[in-house]
């Protein structure tokens, strides 16, 4: 695991944007699970600014989701709305190359099985980029989650639901039902990048990096990944 420490949230966004763009340049048909949430928001803004003056071709990417809230959250995807507005709206990735979670499916278990099959059909995920939860959850894999689980429906803890609602941008109704890439799915990606910003993430980041590798700290499993990059700022990692 490699840790990069940025000066602040703005520099973190610059570094993350550069890394994202570099990965796409190196592999134009990159299969990537892209992040939503407050920390990626600055990154997407920076990427859009760079695209205006130094464009790169995102059109061949295969875009997957990290996790998603289920109805009564928006059936077109609570987190996917952000990805569509802040990244896909200007990146010109065709809808056929995007695979959001179909959270309006009648059978969520079958949908998640099909999602795993779609990842396999893409040749596996080249990159998963995601944030770190305030209780050290990874994607929507809450503390206590087994390391060998795959994509599946889950129930979020109340603290996670409350955290989502503290974002400056609310995409619609928020609920405790979700679907998520499993920890085993994330661990089979060829690379994992975690974005961590702010003093509120200091404790979970310390548990991820310095504590025992345990299901009680889901993100700690990444210490066993062969290629994991953590990009953090000084507020989260003094």
The 10s digit of each residue's pLDDT in 128-142 is: 999 999 999 999 999
Separation CA 50–CA 38 (nearest Å):
19
Tell me if 66 is assigned to some domain.
Answer: yes
pLDDT tens digits, residue range 61-120?
999 999 999 999 999 999 999 999 999 999 999 999 999 999 999 999 999 999 999 999
**92 an active-site residue?**
no
72 inside domain: yes
User: What pLDDT, on the 0 to 100 scale, is given for residue 164?
Assistant: 93
In this prediction, residue 162 carries a pLDDT of: 94
User: E strands, 18-176, where?
Assistant: 31-34, 62-65, 67-69, 98-99, 127-131, 152-155
Residue 190 lies in a domain: yes
Establish if 238 belongs to a structural domain. Answer: no
Percent of the chain scoring above 90 in pLDDT: 97
Look at residue 238 in the predicted model and tell me its pLDDT.
Answer: 76
**Domain assignment present for 206:** yes
Say which CATH number the domain at 144 has: 3.40.50.1360
pLDDT at 168: 85
Give 164-210 pLDDT, tens digit per residue: 999 888 989 999 999 999 999 999 999 999 999 999 999 999 999 99
- CA atoms lying within 13 Å on the CB side of residue 62: 15
Residues 6 or more apart whose Cβ sits within 8 Å of residue 177: 69, 70, 71, 73, 153, 154, 155, 156
Here the tokens at position 185 are 């799915």
Instruction: Average the pLDDT over 136-164 and give the result.
Output: 96
Q: What is the pTM of this model?
A: 0.96
- Look up 135 and say whether it is catalytic: yes
φ, ψ of residue 210 in degrees (nearest 5): -115, -20
Whose CA is closest to 47, among 82, 28, 22, 80? 22
One of 126, 135, 141, 233 is an active-site residue; which one?
135
Is 140 contained in some domain?
A: yes
Given 67, 126, 191, 233, the catalytic residue: 67
Please tell me the predicted confidence (pLDDT) of residue 234. Answer: 97
How many structural domains are present in the chain?
1
SS (H, E, C) 166-195: CCCCCCCCCCCEEEECCHHHHHCCCEEEEE
The reply to whether 137 belongs to the active site is yes
Any domain includes 176: yes
Candidate list 137, 141, 191, 233, residue with the active-site label: 137
Within-domain flag for 109 = yes
The confidence score (pLDDT) of residue 180 equals 98
In the predicted structure, residue 215 carries a pLDDT above the cut 90: yes
67 flagged as catalytic? yes
Write down the catalytic residue from 86, 126, 142, 191. 142
Domain range holding 194?
Answer: 2-233
CB count in 10 Å sphere of residue 95: 10
What integer pLDDT is reported at residue 161 of this predicted model? 95
């Amino acid at each position: 695991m490699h840790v990069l420490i940025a000066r602040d949230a703005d520099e973190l966004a610059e570094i993350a944007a550069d890394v994202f763009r570099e990965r796409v340049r190196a592999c134009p048909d990159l299969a990537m699970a892209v992040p939503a949430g407050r920390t990626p928001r600055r990154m997407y803004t920076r990427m859009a600014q760079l695209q205006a003056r130094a464009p790169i071709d995102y059109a061949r990417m295969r875009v997957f989701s990290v996790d998603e809230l289920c109805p009564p959250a928006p059936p077109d995807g609570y987190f996917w709305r952000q990805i569509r507005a802040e990244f896909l709206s200007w990146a010109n990735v065709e809808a056929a190359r995007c695979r959001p979670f179909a959270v309006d499916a009648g059978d969520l278990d079958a949908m998640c099985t099909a999602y795993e099959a779609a990842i396999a059909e893409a040749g596996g995920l080249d990159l998963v980029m995601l944030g770190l939860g305030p209780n050290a959850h990874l994607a929507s894999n809450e503390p206590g989650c087994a390391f060998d689980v795959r994509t599946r429906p889950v129930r979020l803890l109340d603290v996670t639901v409350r955290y989502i609602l503290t974002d400056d941008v609310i995409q619609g109704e928020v609920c405790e039902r979700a679907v998520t890439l499993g920890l085993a799915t994330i661990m089979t990606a060829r690379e994992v990048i975690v974005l961590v910003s702010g003093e509120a993430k200091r404790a979970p980041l310390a548990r991820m990096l310095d504590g025992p590798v345990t299901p009680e700290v889901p993100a700690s499993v990444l210490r066993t990944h062969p290629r994991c990059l953590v990009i953090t700022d000084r507020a989260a990692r003094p």
